[in-house]
Chain A
């Protein structure tokens, strides 16, 4: 067991826990966007930032990836943490403004107005949840983060339709901004849209009505209902 202090409150956690996990376990709220319990932590959104005080000095770390250490002194709600989160949130909102979830989170963190140019459409904020979910939950890795810097985006390898994508929609579901459009990113589209069924028939249409009976019953019925001699006549005409 490891002993540490969070917000002046002594806490005991098992080994191999991050600060975020310890806080969640003890009911201390930390806002997160890129964290998901089913995925490996990523440290992408920087909203889970907390202050570590070591002697006179203090530093900010992402709690989702920082492991608990013996004797740590953590503050999750100090002024510097709040200020940092507010700025981060403002920047995130400058990317994707039209999401109710993000707006309410912004309100919670005290973002009153966004001082940057607002986007017209919800944009991806590169939290990487979809990419990690595709890899770790679905296990196909159909999408990944491509390019670097401002050109960085989520896409399929070589930006061509991925044959690995199984169209499960996990990426769409996990996306916190609603920016993920399956068609645009993974290139997923139906292979051969067909309205009619071309297969070995089970149901037969007889004069607009659908005959529910199996084939061989229908065949027998056709034989029985056919006027006598039609078959032989047909054979004769064929010759």
Chain B
């Protein structure tokens, strides 16, 4: 300990209404706890978790001026939050309260009166007491929130969000790839165009909005609330700090391609036909037979573009207006005419009244474009039809823009099967993305009509404004801390960081230095293990308390002959898998040997080879490591790192005369209580045999 004054520790031993005290002699435990160094207060009662019990803990903290509190009782998973709240109310930093599990991991797995069990319980308390007296609580990290946002795209929804945020006195950077606003909007209805024009004008004039045309994003770094974005406009590169990112790119109709067997003069896509219709408003519209085929692309059977049926019907009506003599036929597979409000069902009825013919076709018998006719089987009558045509209009699906994959990887957002930026939890939390500061809306997410886009835009602006108007964001998890005086800039830690929270900074021109982004760090401890000079510390799981705990676990009892009858086994248990399994094994009353000492770890990535060697040095006969199965690690790939390290370490151990079988890594799921008890018992037996 570097501190001159040692902290005052209080230990509370719970009897759990007899569940613990029937197996373990809690009076004896209290006596042993009192003898531990730095312990100034002990207490033992039936229930510390009751309201009165907690009030007594608070009183003891205040009266005896306790700086560290250890509660020996049941599984920390269930009661840690309760007791930490209690501690906080009494003015103690929550990180300075720990739970030693003597119920699930000791009392439940042994028979009453077992002396080994009593020793195990005393050791568990001793280990945790050492841990809390040497630990440092995790300081709460605060991150600033930059009161500005980046809006990508310039469709109606993007413009609406930009205006809404700017009206709330938040700076907006608007980046558009094309050279004008809203030019490529999928919805070309008059009121949409009108509204887009009005909003575009307002955006250009707004003092809080910084609009860039012909520009694109080339780099995004940082974390929610504080992103750094580099925008390329022409040859210039501009850098902005923004708190939130709103993605509102439009979708584009899929191109028909060049190589076709049919006459491209007579077969047009919906977008091309729109242009044709607009042109012929002044001229004479001479087409006689028009056939429209909806869902012309294979992909539309599984991914509806949601606007093309409505646009197709409106085009058919326009064509009918221009030339009432024309025969207009619509071939559809399924009509999607939904929308906010009444939808577009009325348009469909109107079209039917005007004499536009609708035929339904089946997906397995799609219409065939022949030289002069369209061949199709009408579903209702089952009669094959041959429709003459002098214009065929094909409805192509709306697809994401070409740069969508790049954008998705820049923002690390998932994409759905059609390539749109998918909403991860559509059904339960619409409008919510992985990072709190990233919002995706409009046709970037899925094609939609104007009303939907506006609804989404208002929702998004409300969410983004709420996020941006927070004072700051706080993170309470353990966070790695790098000592710049010790760091050599070797570059190991950035490579193993699962969240890219560490990067190298230039120092003195030659050397480099690792720096941690506190708000990205998830506290897995992988960097602590790989640091060759041990410059990184992780409060709560540091290189001080864990070795101290290991040493305490194998401390000889005073008066002992220095030789243990049974193998001493240390189990390093990831709290998400093996530690939870150990608790479960306890609550299911599955026995395993009492000579095992279980040490709670945050992640298997933190299983440090040095700690394992230290345990062997302190007299451990075997070390059992419990990690999550591949793919289930809560910190990404910590378990795979652990596996690699164990493989290497086993070879090294063999070279130095330690039987590699003494080290065992087991994959356990969170509910593998039975497997935990079995594999641990087997391992202890195996170690017994080696001794």
Contacts and interface: CB of A to CB of B under 8 A. Distances in A.
Contacts of B424: 163
Interface string B394-437: 00000000000000000000000000000011011000000000
Contact of B644 (A158, A167, A197, A214): A197
B572 interface: no
A236 interface: no
Nearest to A209: B651
A33 B647 CA distance: 45
Contacts of B425: 163-164
B631 A37 contact: no
Nearest to A20: B50
Nearest to B671: A172
B640 A172 contact: no
Given A37-B82, A214-B491, A164 B428 contact: yes
B690 interface: no
Contacts of B641: 197, 202
Interface string A58-86: 00000000000000000000000000000
A174 interface: yes
B160 interface: no
Contact of B490 (A37, A157, A197, A214): A214
B640 A173 contact: no
Contacts of A216: 491
Q: How large is the interface on B (under 10, 10 to 19, 20 to 34, 35 or more residues)?
A: 35 or more
A195 B491 CA distance: 26
A191 B634 contact: no
Contact of A24 (B50, B629, B630, B669): B50
Contacts of B632: 167, 190, 193
Interface in A165-180: 166-170, 172-174, 178, 180
Interface string A6-48: 0000000010110001001101010000001110000000000
Contacts of A38: 49, 78-79, 81-82
A66 B50 CA distance: 16
Contact of B50 (A37, A174, A215): A37
B317 to A, nearest CB: 40
A199 B636 CA distance: 11
B162 interface: no
For the residues of A in contact with B, the DSSP-based class is loop
Contacts of B647: 210
A203 B51 CA distance: 52
Contact of A174 (B78, B644, B670): B78
Interface in B573-593: 576, 580, 583-584, 587-589
A55 interface: no
Contacts of A220: none
B44 to A, nearest CB: 14
A152 interface: no
B343 interface: no
A52 B589 CA distance: 36
B63 interface: no
Interface in A90-134: 100-101, 133
Contact of A202 (B77, B78, B530): B530
A160 B644 CA distance: 35
Contact of B671 (A24, A25, A182): A182
B629 A190 contact: yes
Given A38-B81, A166-B634, A182-B671, A17 B530 contact: no
A215 B491 contact: yes
B344 interface: no
A200 interface: yes
Nearest to B427: A158
A212 interface: yes
Nearest to B424: A163
B51 A173 contact: no
B52 interface: yes
Interface string A141-166: 00000000000000001101001101
B670 A169 contact: yes
A181 interface: yes
A210 B645 CA distance: 10
B51 A17 contact: yes
B580 A29 contact: no
B648 A212 contact: yes
A16 B52 CA distance: 11
A210 B52 contact: no
A54 interface: no
Given A173-B78, A173-B587, A202-B495, A21 B644 contact: no
B576 A24 contact: no
A214 B82 contact: no
Interface string B72-85: 00010111011000
B583 A173 contact: yes
B581 to A, nearest CB: 8
B139 interface: no
Contacts of A222: none
Contact of B492 (A133, A192, A202): A202
A121 B647 CA distance: 41
B110 to A, nearest CB: 15
Contact of A173 (B46, B50, B77): B77
Q: How large is the interface on A (under 10, 10 to 19, 20 to 34, 35 or more residues)?
A: 35 or more
Contact of A137 (B78, B580, B587, B644): B78
B50 A21 contact: yes
Given A25-B52, A37-B47, A173 B584 contact: yes
Contact of B589 (A14, A100, A181, A210): A100
Interface string A197-239: 1011111000000101011100000000000000000000000
Nearest to B493: A202
Contacts of A101: 589
A163 B637 contact: no
B48 to A, nearest CB: 9
A212 B576 CA distance: 28
B271 interface: no
A1 interface: no
Interface string B366-397: 00000000000000000000000000000000
Contact of B631 (A158, A174, A194, A212): A194
B535 interface: no
A193 B631 contact: yes
A36 B648 CA distance: 45
A17 B53 CA distance: 12
A163 B644 contact: no
Nearest to A196: B640
A169 B580 contact: yes
A163 B634 CA distance: 14
A140 to B, nearest CB: 11
B113 interface: no
B91 interface: no
B631 A191 contact: yes
A1 B637 CA distance: 55
A93 B425 CA distance: 39
Nearest to A181: B671
B659 to A, nearest CB: 20
26 contacts: A14-B51, A16-B51, A17-B52, A24-B17, A24-B47, A24-B50, A36-B78, A37-B47, A37-B82, A101-B589, A133-B78, A137-B77, A166-B634, A167-B634, A170-B78, A173-B75, A173-B583, A173-B587, A181-B671, A182-B669, A182-B670, A190-B629, A190-B632, A200-B495, A203-B644, A214-B490
Interface of B: 17, 46-47, 49-52, 75, 77-79, 81-82, 104, 424-425, 427-428, 490-492, 495-496, 530, 576, 580, 583-584, 587-589, 629-632, 634, 637, 640-641, 644, 647-648, 669-671
Interface of A: 14, 16-17, 21, 24-25, 27, 29, 36-38, 100-101, 133, 137, 157-158, 160, 163-164, 166-170, 172-174, 178, 180-182, 190-195, 197, 199-203, 210, 212, 214-216
Given A37-B49, A170-B77, A172-B671, 16 more contacts: A27-B46, A37-B79, A37-B82, A100-B589, A101-B589, A157-B427, A168-B576, A168-B670, A169-B584, A173-B77, A194-B640, A197-B644, A202-B492, A210-B647, A210-B648, A214-B492
